[in-house]
Structure 1
Amino acid sequence: MTKKFYQETPAGRLDRLALKASLQTFYQERQSTEMPELIENYIADFKLPEGVLPSLILDGQSFSVPMVTEEPSVVAAASNGARLVGLADGFQGKGKSQALLGGEILFLDVDQAVLATFIKDKEERLIEVAKQAKPSMAARGDGLKALAFEVLDDRHSKLAITVQTGLAMGANAVNTILEALKKELEDFAPFIVGAILTNSGQDALVSVEAGVPIEALGGLRAAEKIVALSDFGKVDADRAVTENKGIFNGLSAVVLATGNDYRAVEAAGHAYAARTGRYQSLSEWRLSADRKQLLGRLTMPLNIGLLGGAIAALPMAQRNLELLGNPDLDTLKKVVLATGLANNLAALKAVAGPGIQAGHMRMQARTLAIQAGAVAGEIVLVAEQLSKKNRIDQHEAEKILGELRSHDA
């Protein structure tokens, strides 16, 4: 019997794709022994560069923060922002974050009054069923912490649960508990549309704050412009989208480097940014009462973990946690947020000052040098010359490279 595509080995899949020889060899050379079981239909590893933010001060402790991203200026911006905040007291975590993840059983056209009464009468039984579904979680004090029936409108309603997930992000645990609860609601099965976790994370908010001496920003006027830009992010959704993207530039790079789900983190962040009905920036910057410091704050949901999922299967994720000093989960969350706030500060400072393009183009020059064929030490030399040109494109990079090699010959 012919194997299905997903049943093939990575080499077998490449054979069935009938690729030209050079492309097949390209993929074969990028296969590994660690990755084939992580996804379906694996054919090769797609690599992204990892950089490090060498010193981020959080609650008096210095962290070396791994960042995985393909965008040239992200690590440089994070390092710049962290340096500015480090001139004062560094970043400060606010409160204790909670490892909580929600889930929902969704009902359509059910008799809401009857279902509400059923859930109220059976609450103790439902709690016990949740414990039995994940006994190891319950034994260590985690597991189901709350459940509530919610009417959304005359047709839509849900049973919402909140699960304390411990050191794991907890997606599989929440879904397992939901499936167990669904069986207890068998009488209402015809009205159940689905049972699934929610990534909204409204119960798992994390906050960090930062202060920067206004002299480090170029003085009071420069700090006032950053505050004005921050205010625009509260009243202009178009500005807020771009500001939040800048936050996620840094934040998601750390989430990815630690083997966590950056897509879930970003989805939760954007939902939180729109919680008032108006999409707004996640961060806020203002002047201190004595007008000597620029003060920033970032608050958003953050459901990530230290165990389970891809973390256990990705050696780089494990090593990156070691690079961070193997922090506890609360500390890791605040390091992630602090990195996002550092990127935010650097971007606002650039926009309020010389503009964002100058820094971007300096980093883009390296990419263009590589595309032009520069290797090793040539990359920096070509990038340096290219960044001084009025015209910065691949054609100009190729011209500079040619002149450099001609001179060396």
Structure 2
Amino acid sequence: MSEKFYQLSPEKRLEKMTTDESLQRFFLARQSSEMPDLIENYVADFKLPEGVLPDLTVNEKHYRVPMVVEEPSVVAAAANGARMVALGGGFQEEGQSQALVGGQLLFLDADLDALGEYIEANEAAIFETAALAKPSLVARGDGLKKVDFRIIDQRHSVLELSVQSGKAMGANAVNTILEAVKDVMAPFSEKLVGAILTNAGHGAEVSVSAQLPVEIVGGIKAAERIVSLSEFGKVDSDRAVTENKGIFNGLSAVLLATGNDYRAVEAAGHAFASQSGHYQSLSSWQLSADQKFLQGRLTLPLNIGILGGAIGALPMAQKNLELMGNPTVAELKAIMLSVGLANNLAALKAVSGKGIQEGHMRMQARALAIQVGASGSEVNRVADRLAKEKTIDEKTATRILGEERQHDA
């Protein structure tokens, strides 16, 4: 009996997919011993560049922050925003973050009164079952903390569990607890559609703030333009989408570098941005009452971890946490949000000032220089000349590289 595709070795998968030897050699050269068991049907590692934000000040502590991202200007923008905020004292975390992950048992067409009464009468059994399902969580002081019954409409209702996950993101723990609690809800099993965690992050909201003298951004007029642009993100959803994308440019780059689930965080963030019924920017900027300071704030749900899952399986994620000084979960949350707000500030300053295109074109020129074969000192030389050209494209970059090499010969 022949092996199924997922049962094949990475090498045999490549053989099965293509007879092009050069393509096979390309993928074979990019295989590693670390990644094959992380995903199904592995064939190779897809690499992204990692940069470092060299100095981020959060709660008066300084951090080096690794960022994994393919967009040229993201790390530069984060560094610029972090530098400006540092001149005003750095970022501050507001309140105490919670490591809460939600789980849902979803019921369809259940007798709502009977279901509600049953849950209330069996709440102790639900907590006991959850504790037995994950005793290690309880031993650390974590585990199930809250049970709620929510009626969505006459047909749909939800039993919601809030689990304190500790140092791990907690997805597997929550799903394990939900499977166990299904037994407690056996009398309503025919009405139970499914049991699964939710990435919404209710109760796991985190906030960071920044305050900097208006002179740092170019004076009161420049600060007023930043505030006005920020206001557009509150009233126009199209502007809000772009602004939030800029926030996640930085935040998701740190999520990736630390092995966390950037997709879950982004989904929760976009849902949180829509909680008023109108999609809005996650950040806000305003002037202080005396108009001497520009004040910013960013809030969103953040379920992350510093161990378990991909973090434990990816050596780079572990080393990146070490590079950051092995922050606690709460510290890492504040760091991530601060990077997001730093990117947001840099983008708002650029868009409300000279415009964002100039900086993007400089970084695009570097990418094009590398794309056409420039290396070493050639990259900056080609990029510098390319950025001054009317047409910035591969043909122009190729011509400039040829001229530079002819000059060096």
2:94 corresponds in structure 1 to 94
Query: Within the alignment, does 1:191 sit opposite 2:191 as a pair?
Result: yes
C-alpha displacement of 1:18: 2.3
Q: 2:239: which partner in 1?
A: 239
Cα distance in 2 for partners of 1:221, 1:25 equals 57
Deviations 1:13-35 (A, max 9, x none): 11111240000000000000000
Q: Which runs of 5+ in 2 are unaligned?
A: none
- Aligned equivalent of 1:400: 400
Find the residue that maps to 2:246 and give its secondary structure. Answer: helix
Distance, in Å, in 2 between the alignment partners of 1:257 and 1:284 is 26
Task: Map Cα deviations across residues 88-143 of structure 1 (whole Å, 9 max, x no partner).
Answer: 11001111100000010001111111111111111111110011110111111100
- Say whether 1:290 aligns with 2:290: yes
Listed as ranges, the gaps of 5+ residues in structure 1 are none
The Cα offsets for residues 183-234 of structure 1, whole Å up to 9 and x where unpaired, read as 1111211111110000000210111000122111111100000000011100
1:223 paired residue number: 223
Q: Is the 8 A contact 1:236 1:280 kept in 2?
A: yes
For 2:284 and 2:202, locate their aligned partners in 1 and report how far apart those are by CA, in whole Å: 19
What residue number does 1:44 align with?
A: 44
In the alignment, residue 314 of structure 2 is paired with which amino acid?
L
Secondary structure of 1:168's aligned partner: coil
Task: State the Cα deviation string for residues 229-252 of structure 1 (Å, max 9, x = none).
Answer: 011100000000000000000000
Q: Which residue in the other structure is 1:361 paired with? A: 361
Q: How does 1:160-199 map to 2 (within 5 A)?
A: 160-199=160-199
1:55 corresponding residue in structure 2: 55
2:333 counterpart residue number = 333
Q: Within the alignment, does 1:258 sit opposite 2:258 as a pair?
A: yes
The 1-side partners of 2:139 and 2:61 are apart by: 33
**For the residues of structure 2 that align with 1:264 and 1:359, how far apart are their CA atoms?**
30
Q: Which amino acid aligns with 2:279?
A: Y
The answer as to whether partners of 1:226 and 1:348 remain within 8 angstroms in 2 is: yes
**Per-residue CA distance 1:358-406 (angstroms, 9 max, x = gap):** 1001000011111212122211110010011121111110110111111
TM-aligned CA deviation for residue 148 of structure 1? 1.2
Secondary structure of 1:310's counterpart equals helix
Q: Deviations over 1:267-291 (max 9, x none)?
A: 0000000001000000000011221
- AA of the residue aligned to 1:379: V
Residue by residue, what CA displacement relative to the aligned partner does 1:329-378 show, whole Å, maximum 9, x if unpaired? 10110000000000000000000000010100100001111121212221
Which residue of 2 is the match for residue 69 of structure 1? 69
SS at match of 2:300: strand
Residue 42 of structure 2 aligns to a residue whose secondary structure is coil
Amino acid at match of 2:360: H
Whole-Å separation in 2 of the counterparts to 1:374 and 1:72:
16
2: CA distance, partners of 1:222 / 1:29: 51
Q: Structure 1 vs Structure 2: percent identity of aligned residues?
A: 64
Whether contact under 8 Å (1:202, 1:272) holds in the other structure is no
Distance (Å, rounded) in 2 between the aligned partners of 1:120 and 1:19: 63
Computed over aligned residues only, the root mean square deviation of the Cα atoms, in angstroms, reads: 0.7
Equivalent residue, structure 2, for 1:156 = 156
Matched residues in 2 for 1:4 and 1:391: separation?
Answer: 50
Q: For residues 139 and 102 of structure 1, what CA distance do their matches in structure 2 show?
A: 20
Contact 1:88 1:212 in 2 (8 A): yes
Task: Name the CA distance, whole Å, in 1 between partners of 2:363 and 2:42.
Answer: 32
- Partner Cα distance (2:126, 2:311) in 1: 31
**2: CA distance between counterparts of 1:401 and 1:359?**
21
Residue pairs, 1:276-287, within 5 angstroms:
276-287=276-287
Q: Distance in 2 between matches of 1:307 and 1:406?
A: 52
Measure the CA separation in 1 of the matches of 2:105 and 2:202.
17
2:142 maps to which residue?
142
What's the TM-score, normalizing by structure 1? Answer: 0.99
Q: Quick one: distance in 2 between partners of 1:91 and 1:19?
A: 55
CA distance in 2, matches of 1:318, 1:126: 35
More off after superposition, 330-339 vs 393-402: 393-402
Q: What is aligned with 1:22? A: 22
- When structure 1 is superposed on structure 2, of 132-141 and 40-49 the one drifting more is 132-141
Q: Is the 8 A contact 1:146 1:162 kept in 2?
A: yes
> Structure 1 CA distance, aligned partners of 2:133 and 2:237?
43
Change (3 A) 1:19 1:273: farther
More deviation in 210-219 or 63-72? 210-219
User: What is the distance in 2 between the residues matched to 1:268 and 1:317?
Assistant: 22
- 1:270 and 1:257 mapped to 2: Cα distance? 21
Counterpart code for 1:84: M
The one-letter code sitting in structure 2 at the alignment partner of 1:319 is: K
User: Helix, strand or coil: the match of 1:113?
Assistant: helix
